[in-house]
Each structure stands twice: as C-alpha cells, then as structure tokens.
Amino acid sequence: MHGTRRGARVPHARGRWVDEAVVVCSKGPNTLVTSRKPGDLDAFCSKTVDAFQKGVRGTAP
C-alpha cells in the first residue's frame, strides 16, 4: 500500500483500524487476536496464549 496512510483501506472491508499493539475481539463465534506490526510480536504472543487458555477453560465465547 504505497502512498496510503496506515489503516486507510480497512474501513473498505468494514473493519476498524485501532492504533494499539494488540486488539482482541471476541464478538463473533471465534476470538480474533491481531496486531499492527512485527514490533508488537511479544504482546501479540502473550494475548494469543491468554485467548487459547480461556478457550481451553471454556470461558471464551
């Protein structure tokens, strides 16, 4: 995406771009864990492990 600001195309896909290291969404039937960039990998991995643990315990939606 040369020449566009970060997240500029996300609304076209009915998404919402958030300037945070990690975003966890559990509004649907599954839990989505996503991050902005490779520098956020440590935070992403931590939140992903948390989401899996909640799913194993049966507390995730």
**Spatial contact of 22 and 44, defined as CB atoms under 8 Å apart:** yes
Closest CA to 22 of 46, 58, 52: 46
Check residue 7 and give its pLDDT. Answer: 66
Quote the CA–CA distance of 38 and 21 in Å, as a whole number. Answer: 10
More confident: 7 or 60: 7
More confident: 29 or 4: 29
Quote the CA–CA distance of 59 and 14 in Å, as a whole number. Answer: 27
Check residue 1 and give its pLDDT. Answer: 44
Chain segment 5-59, per-residue pLDDT in tens: 666 777 777 778 889 999 998 888 888 999 999 999 999 999 999 999 987 665 5
Helix (H) or strand (E) holding 60: none
